[in-house]
């Protein structure tokens, strides 16, 4: 798996991937599960590797590219489809968890490696998230119906 050039640190159902089986990537997530959504569609979370983004099982400087799209919901019901689809943050530890995720992303990235970070600020403003890392972003783009989804690119020094 470490021959791959991209690490998706919390792949979920691989929603934004053009090729959900892209051989260039290692798809990692803390969960593997399947759910039927309210409209009958299947939500499948099937990572190549079960791993916690706070403690990745890779050596330093392994990947030239990492993707970090962590759960962004702090308040969501246990059986809500949004929680099943996107995961849920721990209300007490989310700041520490995301800070550790950023640290791990930069640890496993090679020098001058690229981190692609995605965040939806429906519940938590992106400014609070960017404060959890000392690495400064270089490019960002807002998308979505209300411009609440942020795509942000970082480069490891």
For the cut 70, the answer to whether the pLDDT of residue 1 exceeds it is no
Q: Give the pLDDT band of residue 88 (cuts 50, 70, 90).
A: very high
> How much is the pTM?
0.93
Q: CATH assignment of 6-155, given 3.90.180.10, 3.40.50.150, 3.40.50.1370, 3.40.50.10320? A: 3.40.50.150
Q: How far apart are the first and last CA of the chain?
A: 25
Q: Give the pLDDT band of residue 17 (cuts 50, 70, 90).
A: very high
> What does the DSSP 8-state code read for residue 127?
H
For the cut 90, the answer to whether the pLDDT of residue 43 exceeds it is no
């Amino acid at each position: 798996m470490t021959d791959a050039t991209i690490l998706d640190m919390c792949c979920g159902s691989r929603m934004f991937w053009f090729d959900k089986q892209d051989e260039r990537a290692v798809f990692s997530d803390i969960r593997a599960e399947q759910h039927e959504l309210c409209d009958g569609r299947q939500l499948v979370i099937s990572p190549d590797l079960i791993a916690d983004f706070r403690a990745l099982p890779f050596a330093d400087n392994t990947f030239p590219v990492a993707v970090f799209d962590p759960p962004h919901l702090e308040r969501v019901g246990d059986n809500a489809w949004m929680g099943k689809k996107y995961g849920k943050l721990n209300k007490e530890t989310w700041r520490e968890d995301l800070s550790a995720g950023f640290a791990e992303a930069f640890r496993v990235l090679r020098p001058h490696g690229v981190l692609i970070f995605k965040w939806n600020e429906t519940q938590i403003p992106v400014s609070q998230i960017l404060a959890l890392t000392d690495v400064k972003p270089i490019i960002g783009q807002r998308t979505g119906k209300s411009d609440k989804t942020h795509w942000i690119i970082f480069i490891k020094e």
